[in-house]
Chains A and B, each alone.
Chain A
């Protein structure tokens, strides 16, 4: 699939249903004529489903202690993230222009201190899930049982051993308010025989592996946690090119 046809699909899927600006033009605004890597397009559908249909977050309450948390661990998948956040009105759309410029708040990796709605600064792979585990533990320790913590990773990012420290700990201790989302575009150099989900389920996570372009399937998977164990959603998309 080429970037052009993918973008067309995104535009179709992102028609404004609720008065918010559609994502696709905002994504084009970030792109500003540059060529995006496939990682941008591999993540956009999950982000849209999360921000439109799953996350209990609102731009007027970015510090609400009972908000859901979305942690983008694969920080390079940032263009779609910025576009979705702008569509959800976490910041003005004109921030999308001049991404990475000297006066811009939007870098090639997100910084939580610079961008409203961004929960963690990321970029170095393998940090989001540990921070997510700590966030989930902190919410639980304070009796905040409603908010849920979602951490988005890539299948290649799972190479980082720090993820496996977090996966095993969260699974064996039954950290029920945590959801990991793995975008699987077959980019891990040595692969994950049996699929990424097996790395989680062996430690007690529930798992759903779905078509990463199918919004209804993603929604079902992203809301499919059982309340007793951490949950992983593997969103399978077309393999990374090259």
Chain B
């Protein structure tokens, strides 16, 4: 996904003089050709994340469209007040693109884990959040985000589904168990594990790579009495959105995702998926417990 991001951004910088890129050393080498061609619009401020977002706000105030990129915890968590004040409060907007989603690099430990990023972005108003599930989704999502006027967060991951799906943000049903069946909404790279886990269960599985704004209409259209969220970031991040969307209906909601507890374990992304119950076996166990305990 990062390679696609670099190629697409490099092309956008060449095509649109309104586009600018702000970096804080991360990925700077990959953007060296673009920096050589557009030294005034490819700006690496060094390891200064507060400044990186402040600069993006200033660029936007002069009419440019900044793309801001670094590791997720440093982009969203370290510079959160700059997102709130230097972008939103100024009525300035930017496209944030992170790498290092959740446990993409677990051997680096807690400092490089970022399961809370989407929750934090979700405290802001009017942001679009894109969570691509395949490298093939990255270019059109990025182009869409940059072409818009509002702020967006594009969350890249090393984890991926086998094939790309559409990018219009609508819930896409990938497996239909018929009217009234429990609805599983898998976000981004969780889809393949969800479909593998639930292949023989009577549940509808839908996909989205745009959790904000959440496809409320699609949810109301497809949702039965039971809704199961599978998100690759903090469990429960989208619970409030689903609950509000279904407030007028009796329903139950199970929100699966990354846990809050610090595990203090290294290992691989697969290990962490297992520990957080987001691998196929964990998802199956949680969904069966929720939908039909008798199936155990």
Contact = CB atoms under 8 A, between A and B. Distances in A.
A and B assemble together: yes
B61 interface: yes
B91 A113 contact: yes
Interface string A108-142: 00011100000111001011011111111111111
Interface string B49-63: 011011111111111
Contacts, number: 99
A133 B58 CA distance: 7
A127 B40 contact: no
B263 interface: no
B84 to A, nearest CB: 9
A162 interface: yes
B43 interface: yes
B51 A133 contact: yes
Contact of B50 (A113, A136, A162, A168): A162
A217 interface: no
B85 A137 contact: no
A120 B91 CA distance: 10
B204 interface: no
A137 B66 CA distance: 12
Interface string B199-236: 00000000000000000000000000000000000000
Contacts of B246: none
Given A133-B54, A161-B50, A124 B62 contact: no
Residue of B57, B58, B64, B86 with most chain A CB atoms under a 10 A cut-off: B58
A116 to B, nearest CB: 14
Interface in A145-179: 161-162, 165-166, 168-169
B50 A121 contact: no
A135 B46 CA distance: 18
B64 A138 contact: yes
A65 interface: yes
A142 B40 CA distance: 9
A193 B89 CA distance: 34
Contacts of B17: 142
Given A65-B63, A124-B85, A130-B82, A138 B51 contact: no
Residue of A133, A134, A168 with most chain B CB atoms under a 10 A cut-off: A134
Given A127-B82, A138-B20, A142-B63, A132 B58 contact: yes
A62 to B, nearest CB: 13
Interface of A: 65, 111-113, 119-121, 124, 126-127, 129-142, 144, 161-162, 165-166, 168-169
Interface of B: 17, 20, 40-41, 43, 45-46, 48, 50-51, 53-64, 66, 81-82, 85-86, 89-91
25 contacts: A65-B62, A65-B63, A111-B89, A113-B91, A127-B82, A130-B51, A130-B57, A130-B58, A130-B82, A131-B54, A131-B57, A133-B51, A134-B59, A134-B60, A134-B61, A137-B43, A137-B58, A141-B20, A141-B62, A161-B50, A162-B82, A165-B45, A165-B50, A169-B46, A169-B51
